[in-house]
Structure 1
Amino acid sequence: MKHIHEIKDKNKKDILRLLYTKQNLSKKRIASELGLSQSVITKICAELIADGIIIESNQIKTQKVGRNEIEIKINPTYKYCFGITINHKKTTILLTDLALNIIKETSFSTILDPQEHISRVISSLRELIADNLLESKYFMGIGISIKGVTDGKYAYHGIWDTVVDMKSPIQQAFNIPVAVDNGVRCSALLEQLHSNEKNFIFLKYMEPGIGGALVRNGKIERGETHSIVDFGHLIINPDGSYCPVCKRRGCLESIISIEQMLNYAKSNFRLDFCPVFWNLCEGLSKNINISNIIKSAEHGSIPFNQIFKRNAKFLALSIINTFSIIDIKKIIIIGDLFSSERFNTYFKAAINELQLTPIYDIIQIHTYSDVMLSPVVLALNEFIFI
């Protein structure tokens, strides 16, 4: 009997995950996708509808003759979620419904004192709950994406110099389940929801930092020290400076991070250094950002093209080394610089130069604008899918 309940529970979760992954699904199409009988799907969907988790929506247009198919969807108002993204500069809080529609967003600078920061997070959550006339019982969970190393409760380093319990104070304040993980693993979960891939190396090269994650058999790997695929801290230049986070000399993060690039742009911000960049920023240092750096490179800026070429080669080198250790034949990358045609050209050339077998064929470069939803997906993964 227990075994039957476990199978039924798994089928429910598979249906819900599928509804987040694909559009225009009827009971018939869900049955086909999951390889289950339509009668089994009909029975499970009836229970989920009765519970209020899913709803029947519009008719699906089809060319086939016969009974019209009715679309099945996640019920957006069944529960609500909070997604909190914390890096060393900024903290963003999203209030979403269960269908991942953003209801409200607020952000503030990350506070240097961790306890003061947690108090600010709690007060911001209270304001969002009150402003939207909600109660704790209406929430499915809170997902927290935090930069650095975490075991799912404590943040060890990456933002603060001390170990910080990120889970207990927030969970106790609201009596809402809380899930905590680092930013790159949360983004890997979001990628999995988009692509439904089961096995891949996930790499992130964005302004908050550089990192990696491993998804095997549909599950995130974490490692004994919660640092598996610590991609951003691979040593690529032993003559470089020591990284304040990993304490290694010349790691990827300390050499090619977006932050390093922005610091370089700020320290050399003069008309004679790069007229194109100066004009794009209108001569104002406050306009120095990665978007204007990319535009400068595309317009032929020599200094920024030199940096792009160097960073692309170091990134390619680190990816090949990571692939040689982890035997998974799919690498998915998201990154700010990949919106640049020139950076993509340099990156592909570096990959092909450093390895003669066609490794570039297994690399997928993805861009999506909903990366801030990743902690909400963490909450879904912890409290619905697992």
Structure 2
Amino acid sequence: MSPQDPWVQVSEVLRLIRTGEAQTRPEIADATRLGRNVVTLRIQAAQELGLVRPSGDQRSRGGRAAEVWELSGCAGTIAVGMVAENHLRVALADLRLQVIEDRRIPWDRLGEQEATCERIAEEMDALLAVHPTPQLWGVGLGVLAPVDFDSGRNADPVTAATASPRWPRGFDFRAWFVQRMQVPVWVDSVSNLMALGASVEADAPDDLIAVRMEQGVGSGIVSRGALHRGADWIAGEINHVTVKEDPERICLCGRAGCLDSFAGSWAIELDASKAISQGRVTSLSKISPRPLTADDVVAAAESGDIVSVEIVLRAAEAVGKALATVVTWFNPRRVVIFSYTHLTLPTNREV
């Protein structure tokens, strides 16, 4: 469709209203360079579809006050799913991105792609059964792997050795969910989606980095207001950046000194287990027989356990060094840190 196509113009009007860049007829006319009458027709078309509505406010730029328009959330719903290390998150949201219901499902079968996708789809079905109207318009999915955004398949990682055995390369998430849910589907990495979420906050700058710390460390990059995915879809994969040449720090990729080998939750847990096996005095030794987790290490550090404090600060220092380099070459206005498990506060200090 050409820029003169009425529906292209309606789409642009919706984008301006949704982002808050322009919400009155005069503002939209200035932003799109469309005539006032054309803007009125495009807003009317969007209103007839239930996509926009008057907010009840008016805004003046010195003359007659103009009506302010806002996105209407009641025309449809979006189902979203996210794959995490030991659980799944599934939610239903309206078109204004207001969450209707959010569910967390324990899950330890990440190696089984179809079973994982089916479990997410089943939970989406359950949410839609509870909230049957309005109808489902689309599905969004976040996975723990780089994603070829054009095809909806998970992409090659930074190095072949870092390919997750749980998510073999080339699995077609988009095709699977399109067939299962019968709606349009968007798939991206969790890191990119976190960056995208941070970028739509009211005070978000155009240039930011969102860092995700979980089993591994990843990041998403927003440049000039848009996600930067890179030529091969792996932009932001900082987990295999070398932070220190240390032959004792062997990463899952087989190399020494990667960021993940210091700050991934698996590395935190390995350091704690080594300290216990070496006979160091630590409250962590009382946790067995259940498996030790990074959460346990952070909780012990917060309680003053010396061994745990050393482990957490070493990991935070590694993340801080890596991000200092990233900040130097990218020059973001903001760094946002997401952590489900560990390191948020000490890492903030190190950065």
Q: Tell me the TM-score normalised to structure 1 length.
A: 0.70
Query: 2:166 — aligned with what?
Result: 160
Tell me how far apart the structure 2 counterparts of residues 212 and 299 of structure 1 sit (CA, whole Å).
29
Query: 1:234 — aligned with what?
Result: 241
User: How much does 1:315 deviate?
Assistant: 1.6
Match of 1:87 among 84, 93, 97: 84
Tell me how far apart the structure 1 counterparts of residues 224 and 304 of structure 2 sit (CA, whole Å).
44
**Tell me, which stretches of 5 or more residues in structure 2 are unaligned?**
156-162
Q: Which amino acid aligns with 2:336?
A: I
Query: 1:218 — aligned with what?
Result: 225
Tell me how far apart the structure 1 counterparts of residues 262 and 49 of structure 2 sit (CA, whole Å).
52
- 2:55 aligned with 1:52: no
- Relative to structure 1, the CA distance from residue 169 to residue 321 in structure 2 (aligned partners, 3 Å threshold; closer, same or farther) is same
Compare the two structures and name the one with the higher helix fraction: 1
- Relative to structure 1, the CA distance from residue 208 to residue 312 in structure 2 (aligned partners, 3 Å threshold; closer, same or farther) is closer
Correspondences of 1:195-206 after superposition (within 5 Å): 195-200=203-208, 202-206=209-213
Tell me how far apart the structure 1 counterparts of residues 167 and 3 of structure 2 sit (CA, whole Å).
47
Please list the CA deviations of residues 117-144 of structure 1 after superposition, one character each: whole Å capped at 9, or x if unmatched.
2233333333333333358xx2221111
Q: Which amino acid aligns with 1:52?
A: G
Higher relative contact order (CA 8 A, sep 6+): 1
| Native 8 Å contact 1:30 1:41 kept in 2 | no
Match of 2:326 among 313, 319, 322: 322
**Tell me, which stretches of 5 or more residues in structure 1 are unaligned?**
349-386
- Relative to structure 1, the CA distance from residue 92 to residue 331 in structure 2 (aligned partners, 3 Å threshold; closer, same or farther) is same
Query: 2:309 — aligned with what?
Result: 305
Tell me how far apart the structure 2 counterparts of residues 46 and 59 of structure 1 sit (CA, whole Å).
18
Query: 2:335 — aligned with what?
Result: 332
The aligned length equals 332
Match of 1:254 among 247, 253, 261: 261
| Native 8 Å contact 1:15 1:30 kept in 2 | no
User: How much does 1:190 deviate?
Assistant: 0.7
Please list the CA deviations of residues 179-225 of structure 1 after superposition, one character each: whole Å capped at 9, or x if unmatched.
1111111111111111443333x141422531122323332222232
Q: Tell me the TM-score normalised to structure 2 length.
A: 0.76
| Native 8 Å contact 2:239 2:260 kept in 1 | yes
Please list the CA deviations of residues 202-258 of structure 1 after superposition, one character each: whole Å capped at 9, or x if unmatched.
1414225311223233322222322123211212234244433x4433311122123
Partner SS, residue 5 of structure 2: helix
Cα RMSD after superposing both structures: 4.0
Query: 1:370 — aligned with what?
Result: none
Query: 1:119 — aligned with what?
Result: 118
Say which is worse superposed, 175-184 or 9-18, in terms of deviation.
Answer: 9-18
- Relative to structure 1, the CA distance from residue 70 to residue 255 in structure 2 (aligned partners, 3 Å threshold; closer, same or farther) is same
Correspondences of 1:31-70 after superposition (within 5 Å): 31=28, 34=31, 39=36, 42-59=40-57
Query: 2:199 — aligned with what?
Result: 192
Q: Which amino acid aligns with 2:5?
A: H
Tell me how far apart the structure 1 counterparts of residues 119 and 75 of structure 2 sit (CA, whole Å).
28
